[in-house]
Amino acid sequence: MIYFEDLEVGAETEFGHYDVTREEVLEFARKYDPQPFHLSDEAAAKTHFGRIAASGWHSCAMTMAVIARHVVADEQAGLGSPGIDELRWLKPVYPGDRLTVSGRIVDKTPSRSKPEIGSVRTATTVRNQDGVPVLTFTSIVLMRRRPERTPAA
């Protein structure tokens, strides 16, 4: 199990990648962001996107899928998140893109009120297959601290 104490400020992690499909872009848009440029080639061609682009919220969901798979596989002692800061959609995400998610720990703070947890801030960057950043944000994650071991009597 990876605990709060095991993480170091400055450490970088590549969480993995996600292949964006047209079917998922359309399905997400129909359910959650039904703007024409997410649903129609013709409508998208009339915008700065030029073609169907994924919703920014879909890009966030794909990013979360990559991070969550990594955290579960690494057995991290995460306790969820109170939020994110500085979310930026830098470039459109298109069907056929391969997104790669990486993060760098920028801060960690033990909780003053709950000594069993701490918070970790990570600068997250999502890049497309050309290495171009398409999405950035700073996540705040709550993590369990390593349980104290009491000596055997």
Asked whether the predicted pLDDT for residue 93 surpasses 60, the reply is yes
Q: How far is CA 152 from CA 145, 147, 149, in A?
A: 21, 15, 9
How many distinct structural domains can be found in the chain?
A: 1
What CATH number does residue 72 fall under? 3.10.129.10
- Per-residue pLDDT averaged across 67-74, rounded? 90
pLDDT band for position 151 (cuts 50, 70, 90): low
* Contact by Cβ (8 Å): 78, 140: no
Q: Does the residue 150 lie in any domain?
A: no
The pLDDT assigned to 76 comes to: 86
Range of the structural domain that residue 116 is part of: 4-144
Q: Does the residue 25 lie in any domain?
A: yes
pTM (predicted TM-score):
0.89
Q: Does the residue 69 lie in any domain?
A: yes
Q: Does the residue 138 lie in any domain?
A: yes
pLDDT band for position 74 (cuts 50, 70, 90): confident
- Per-residue pLDDT averaged across 70-74, rounded? 87
Going across the sheet that includes 12-19, the strands are: 12-19, 98-110, 117-127, 133-144, 83-89
| Residue 63 CB coordination number (10 Å) | 22
Secondary structure of residue 114 in the 3-state scheme: coil
CB-based contacts of 26, cutoff 8 Å, min separation 6: 38, 39, 52
> CA torsion angle for 67, 73, 78, 81 (degrees, to 10)?
20
Q: Does the residue 128 lie in any domain?
A: yes
Q: Does the residue 153 lie in any domain?
A: no
Tens digits of residue pLDDT in 31-63? 999 999 999 999 999 999 999 999 999 999 999
The lowest-confidence range among 40-49, 109-118, 140-149 is 140-149
